[in-house]
Amino acid sequence: MHSLKEIRKNTDLFEKKIKERNSTADLKSLLNHDKENRELIQKKEKLEQEKKLLSKNKDPKNFNKSKNLTNQIEELDNSQKKIQVKINNILSSIPNLASEDVPIGNDEKSNKIIKKSSETKIFDFKIKSHIELSKNYMDFETASILSGSRFVVLKDKLALLERALINFMIDIHTRKFGYIEISPPLIVNEKIMFGTGQLPKFEKDQYEIFSEKDEERKFLIPTAEVPLSNLFNNSTIDQKKLPLRFVAGTPCFRREAGSYGKDTKGIMRQHQFYKVELVSLVEPNKCNDELNRMLNCAEEILKMLELPYQIVLLSSGDMGFSAEKTFDIETWIPSENKFREISSCSSCGMFQARRMKTKYKLGNSSDFIGTLNGSGLATGRLMIALLEYYQNSDGSITIPTPLKKYMDNIEKI
């Protein structure tokens, strides 16, 4: 969320930057509501002052005057609440503004490749897709009976590989990079989903859990970013404790409402999938340095597994709603002969913190925290890359050396 005061001061800049995000916002209505709201507050404060002065005078004749003032104050208060809802509705729908070094563009066509790790592998046999390689270990038919489309049952060695990857990645992020491991709830409330920007704009993508009471709306998490970023919701953190870095390996649940017809085969795009998520809380002026650090941490996983990858700086029109700057890491998928996203690392500046009311204390003052999040990495997509990259001519898959100790030291699947 943005500061209304900043929008008031820099309306033209906000209009320009919102357009660069390939988005729109009714700033004229917002500022009109804001003006009306401030006028109502002034009127209410004036009447409250009058009532206070009357209360000091015990004259019974003032009773009716005081009662009349109370009624007027209540009317103004009700009007102000209605105006505030209108203000909040517009504010909550405005995306974060892109950082100055983000390329301007409407979509992925304006993204910039900033790094390539190595040459892709040349196979001397006909390569198979991850679906063909794992037909004995991936059961889509049973999953469809159990849950519907875009779900999978993993069996035996592939279930072991999934668990191995999660443990391997968490070990690297905690032991090598100092992230604190968290096991968060997989169900969060409406306020928490609002805090990171999933609600209200992306409600159709979420899995909501039925509740008899509307005020107790609950959702399955679409990513561990949601609970991890909100660990200090409505709190103030001592500056001395910063930076705070968290990692969690959790299931994620997404409706994929806008992906009809995309990646319908295999496990590239599922309604339920595992992901290792990284979240940092830092002083806002350190967001860019922290983003580069987070990117290096996610990148290290692919380096250790010796998988080809590239890093892409996303354009203003291709970034997520809450991001001010995003790097995607894409790894090579041999059967498709192209790179596919396996991680997004984003700086959100103070955007989420304003929604979460999360601040840090600096001396006698406080300000909103800077938040960052990134995949470190998406487990399903990492499995696809490993299965296909390490396949052999006989259809077996060689286990990369760093994973062997997590898989009972087996050499192949």
pLDDT in tens, 27-72: 999 999 999 999 999 999 999 998 888 777 766 667 788 888 899 9
pLDDT (average), residues 135-156: 97
The distance in angstroms from the start CA to the end CA of the chain is 48
pLDDT (average), residues 241-268: 90
3-state secondary structure of 281: strand
Return the bridge partners of 359, or none.
236, 368
Give the pLDDT confidence score for residue 64 in this predicted structure.
Answer: 80
Q: Mean pLDDT score of the chain, rounded to an integer?
A: 95
Of 271, 288, 293, nearest to 147 (Cα)?
271
Give the pLDDT confidence score for residue 262 in this predicted structure.
Answer: 80
338-370 as b/e: b if 16+ CB within 10 A: ebbbbbbbbbbbbbbbbbbebbbeeeeeeebbb
Give the pLDDT confidence score for residue 118 in this predicted structure.
Answer: 81
Q: Looking at 305-406, list the stretches that DSSP marks H as alpha helix, in order from N- to C-terminal side.
A: 351-356, 379-389, 401-404
What amino acid occupies position 351? F
Residue 220 CB: number of other CB atoms within 10 A?
19
DSSP state of 412: B
Using alpha carbons only, give the angle 287, 291, 296 rounded to the nearest 5 degrees.
150
> Residue holding tokens 């390996």?
249
Give the pLDDT confidence score for residue 215 in this predicted structure.
Answer: 72
Read off the pLDDT band of 8 (50, 70, 90).
very high
Give the pLDDT confidence score for residue 216 in this predicted structure.
Answer: 82
What are the CA-CA distances from residue 130 to residues 31, 168, 262, 332 (Å)?
53, 21, 17, 13
Global pTM? 0.94
Give the pLDDT confidence score for residue 53 in this predicted structure.
Answer: 82
pLDDT (average), residues 153-176: 98
Helical axes 379-389 vs 156-171, angle rounded to 10°: 110
Cα(270)–Cα(273) distance, integer angstroms = 6
Cα(291)–Cα(220) distance, integer angstroms = 27
Cα(354)–Cα(369) distance, integer angstroms = 8
Give the pLDDT confidence score for residue 93 in this predicted structure.
Answer: 96
Expressed in percent and rounded to 5, the helix, strand and coil fractions of the chain are 45, 20, 35
Of 85, 91, 99, nearest to 2 (Cα)?
91
3-state secondary structure of 9: helix
Does residue 258 surpass a pLDDT of 70?
no
Listed range (1-5, 116-120, 294-298) with the worst mean pLDDT: 116-120
pLDDT (average), residues 337-364: 96
pLDDT in tens, 353-402: 999 999 999 889 999 999 999 999 999 999 999 999 999 999 999 999 99
Are 247 and 203 spatial neighbours (Cβ–Cβ below 8 Å)? no
Listed range (128-137, 196-205, 261-270, 336-345) with the worst mean pLDDT: 261-270
